[in-house]
Structure 1
């Protein structure tokens, strides 16, 4: 008679399996902790009061900057109360046709968010001259999914504004480390009227 003795296969218990996986992953976690891995945080600003001026009413870029500021920084209304003034010279978004069919149907848009700004002290000393930042992304388009593409476009524009806001904050930190420029020269009329 031919027969084989069936032996039960040893399958670890689910909690034992999780314990073994955890034991195997422990050296990896220890390695990450030792390498200096850290989640990205907003930069530590050397300013506690900042004024945002020159933005159009209800500007999404201004809202992105406010959201990106760390909790230690406060946006003030008056430039006299601020330690630093960020003046928006140009705050725009563009949507340009990047590709179309021979029948003239749009197949791809190029989205662009642009911010031109200046950073100064309330007394007029310029910390960072006129600086222009921009981000571009391509967006495929189809007429049959126009509503979902509109939602995707808004999400991409918001992501680009958030990127610009983070870049502005990093530039604020770098500008703060530079020595302060001298006070701007008084105009001859103001100097003549001084006692």
Structure 2
């Protein structure tokens, strides 16, 4: 009985010390905007994962048309690569590197850039063996899903960091430039 009360007291002290230092689990973060247009195919896995994560914020929703959105995410590039890292002495592949690069920027409704061009690169290394090729294919699919989950989390953190200034001037219309005068 005495030992269990000591364990309870120790657990209580540890819990209070964690709460006192400001520790809390990372949860969904509130965004500075209510609606966003994702600027990618509605049917892509990445868009589905981003929409799911945006719903967890409870305040932000992905909309299907850019005109209905407060901000627009412009996807500049979404590239996947599979590079050979090492070969055996017989010339067979031993290791691959899976890489995904995602570049995007965010504009507000007026066309002002609220987040400049951001690049996120996610990589994973995978060993390869011809004797268990099917298992290695499955491992590669799992790593690709893991990379996408990591990518979604990084995009969400960058979107949460956006601060919209309602007093910022609208972008100037591009006027034709006059030709320099000849001397």
For the superposition of Structure 1 and Structure 2, which TM-score range results when normalised by the shorter chain? 0.7 to 0.9
Q: In 2, Cα distance between the equivalents of 1:187 and 1:38?
A: 48
Q: Where does residue 172 of structure 2 map in the other structure?
A: 185
TM-score scaled by structure 1?
Answer: 0.76
Equivalent in 43, 48, 55 of residue 58 of structure 1: 43
Unpaired segments of 5 or more residues in structure 1? 1-14, 190-195
With over 3 angstroms needed to count, the CA separation of the structure-2 counterparts of 1:22 and 1:85, relative to structure 1, is same
Q: CA deviation at 1:23?
A: 4.2
Q: What residue is the counterpart of 1:134 in the other structure?
A: 121
The TM-score with structure 2 as length reference comes to 0.80
The question of whether the paired residues in 2 share the 8 Å contact of 1:126 and 1:181 is answered with no
1:153 aligns with 2:140: yes
| CA 1:109–1:176: 2 relative to 1, 3 Å | same
Which structure has the greater CA radius of gyration?
A: 1
Cα gap change, 1:57 to 1:147, in 2 (>3 Å): farther
Q: Give the length in aligned residue pairs.
A: 174
Q: In angstroms, what is the RMSD of aligned CA positions?
A: 2.5
- Structure 1 match to 2:19: 33
**Structure 1 residues 100 and 56, CA gap change in structure 2 (3 angstroms):** farther
Structure 2: which 5+ residue stretches go unaligned?
177-183
The 3-state SS of whatever aligns with 2:29 is coil
Equivalent residue number for residue 124 of structure 1? 111
Query: How far 1:56 sits from its partner (Å)?
Result: 4.7
CA distance in 2, matches of 1:99, 1:52: 37
